[in-house]
Amino acid sequence: AIQMTQSPSSLSASVGDRVTITCRASQGIRNDLGWYQQKPGKAPKLLIYAASTLQSGVPSRFRGSGSGTDFTLTISSLQPEDFATYYCLQDYNYPFTFGPGTKVDIK
Amino acid sequence: QVHLVQSGAEVKKPGASVKVSCKASGYTFPSFGISWVRQAPGQGLEWMGWVAPYNANTNYAQNLQGRVTMTTDTSTNTAYMELGSLRSDDTAVYYCARWDSSGSDYWGQGTLVTVSS
């Protein structure tokens, strides 16, 4: 199975900060990667699919990039509602696999 | 609008089985897959598998092969996930989600399954 890693595992940031989260696949996955946001006690929410396509209704401050093995989620200006845990998911081949998550909390 | 409504919390003994349901509404059920994801307390997300309602095709996570079965009933627009030979480390919140090539865009509310003697 393809292994996914994320860095950092957690970060502290302030409102208005630019935040970057990295996801790396153990083998090439083209652009078959999604990003999900999860808040405590809630179901995950799809932010980005196909590595860089913004899901409908998701604010444009979220941006995804990358292909092959290295991917990035960038939040251009962190808002209070963005404090959450972020996961990448490869859907290149079965079994799909999530990264371990990156927790973004308030500095 | 799209809704996925899951069955309620379960408490099971080790070795037992659990079957979680996920009733879909607001879209054409056979047109999208249903994926299942679980989250143990304080842990990350784990992809469990996927079922295609239109032909019953499935794919499961390797570590669950032989213990998990995912099915659908297109007459009631309901998906099911059954997990057998339960262990304490199966204690988790189990989520269903609508799936297509764009990802899982709608999710159920989650079902807590507790495995305890």
pLDDT digits (tens, 9 = 90+) for A34-60: 999 999 999 999 999 999 999 999 999
Q: What is the mean pLDDT of residues B19-32?
A: 98
Which two three-digit tokens encode residue A7?
């860095």
Which two three-digit tokens encode residue A58?
């998701």
The secondary element (H helix, E strand) that includes residue B104 is strand B103-107
pLDDT digits (tens, 9 = 90+) for A65-102: 999 999 999 999 999 999 999 999 999 999 999 999 99
Question: Residue B87: which pLDDT band, with cuts at 50, 70 and 90?
Answer: very high
Question: Residue B101: which pLDDT band, with cuts at 50, 70 and 90?
Answer: confident
For residue A53, with 0-12 CB atoms within 10 Å meaning exposed, 13-18 middle and 19 or more buried, which class applies?
A: middle
Q: Distance (Å, rounded) from C-alpha A72 to C-alpha A88?
A: 9
Looking at chain A, the whole-number percentage of residues with pLDDT higher than 70 is 100
pLDDT digits (tens, 9 = 90+) for A57-68: 999 999 999 999
Q: Is the pLDDT of residue A18 over 90?
A: yes
Question: Residue B60: which pLDDT band, with cuts at 50, 70 and 90?
Answer: very high
Q: What is the mean pLDDT of residues B39-57?
A: 97
- Indicate yes or no: CB of B37 within 8 angstroms of CB of A91: no
Residues in chain A: 107
Looking at chain B, the whole-number percentage of residues with pLDDT higher than 70 is 100
Question: Residue A71's beta-bridge partner residues?
Answer: A23, A66
Chain B neighbors of A91, CB-CB under 8 A: 101, 103
- Indicate yes or no: CB of B110 within 8 angstroms of CB of A34: no
Say if residues B59 and B49 touch (Cβ distance below 8 Å): yes
- pLDDT value, residue A106: 86
Beta strand segments in B1-117, E: 3-6, 10-12, 18-25, 33-39, 45-51, 58-60, 68-73, 78-83, 92-100, 103-107, 111-115
Q: Average pLDDT, whole number, for chain B?
A: 97
Chain A neighbors of B61, CB-CB under 8 A: 1, 95
Q: Which residues of A62-89 are buried (b: 16+ CB within 10 A; e: fewer)?
A: bbbebeeeebbbebeebeeebbbbbbbb
